[in-house]
Structure 1
Amino acid sequence: MEDDELAQIRVKRMAELRGATSGSTGGSGALPTGLVPGKAPGGGENDAEKLAQMEEIRRSMLVQLLDNGARERLSRISIVKPEKARAVEDLLIRMAQSGQLKGKINENMLIDLLEQLNEQQAAKVESKIKIARRTHDSDDDEDLLAGL
């Protein structure tokens, strides 16, 4: 029971932090003014502390959402493709906040989620491919040869 209550408190706190971040930037969801990754913010340590707190909350939420096998697989993915691992983490947190997750995610469930994401991305890539073929009966070649 205490774990469920703690998870709810963390989810609410994460939502508050996201609301405060998006509220200060006009709802764009970007970092607050003065926060640029890799650079020291103009406000000093306060902004860095907020970012560190948000990352700690994020990690603790993921610990509660994923079992050991799923966490290990996600950490291996983050070594190879950090942006993909971050996207999966974001998706899992959003799903938890919206109440779509009922229990801990095991490794098989994480694999299924990854496969779904790969299929969605493959469908986007396939829709962008356009093949233009030339016909063999083109008169353009004859015109070029006649000019020689």
Structure 2
Amino acid sequence: MDEELQAIRQARLAQLQAEHGSAPSNIASGPSSNQQQQEVQDEMRQNLLSQILEHPARDRLRRIALVRKDRAEAVEELLLRMAKTGQISHKISEPELIELLEKISGEVSKRNETKIVINRRVQDDEDDWDL
């Protein structure tokens, strides 16, 4: 089943690349070519993520993208970077993805933490000591 799906994805990716590569003059033609280029990049990205993540982990990442698109994109970028540098030797499971999300969440909360400091002036006024 996965091999068939992989073959379909590879064929679709080759088709998109052929369409994109066969018309280089259309790249500067306008927004439709930018949209095609974006579709090709998204297809390649999804293909790589399907190779990196197990199915439950991909589902969780999609659900996260519905709520926090920026966080999901950051996790995807991190996973793709780790895969390109060879830091991933197996498919990432859902618990491993959760652990990665917790690490990222902790880093984000530390950066966004605000600290309120109240400086109270000490008035050393001798008039307050009237007896």
Of 100, 123, 127, which aligns to 1:138? Answer: 123
Aligned to 1:120: 107
Q: Is residue 2:65 matched to residue 1:78?
A: yes
One-letter identity of the residue aligned with 2:76: E
Q: Give the root-mean-square deviation of aligned CA atoms.
A: 2.6
Q: Is residue 2:98 matched to residue 1:111?
A: yes
Q: How does 1:1-148 map to 2 (within 5 A)?
A: 43-44=29-30, 45-126=32-113, 128-135=114-121, 137-138=122-123
* Aligned-residue identity in percent: 35
Partners of 1:138 and 1:79 in 2: CA distance: 54
Return the structure number with greater helix share. Answer: 2
Deviations 1:100-126 (A, max 9, x none): 101100000001101111111122223
Structure ID, larger Rg: 2
Partners of 2:94 and 2:63 in 1: CA distance: 12
TM-score scaled to structure 1, two decimals?
0.59
Partners of 1:46 and 1:74 in 2: CA distance: 28
TM-score scaled to structure 2, two decimals?
0.66
Which structure is richer in relative contact order (CA contacts within 8 A, separation 6 or more)? 2
* SS class of match (1:99): coil
Deviations 1:75-118 (A, max 9, x none): 11111111110111111001101111011000000011011111
Partners of 2:29 and 2:116 in 1: CA distance: 49
How far 1:139 sits from its partner (Å)?
A: 6.3
Deviations 1:58-88 (A, max 9, x none): 0111111110110111111111111110111
Unaligned runs of 5+ in 1: 11-40, 143-148
Aligned to 1:37: none
Unaligned runs of 5+ in 2: 11-26
* SS class of match (1:103): coil
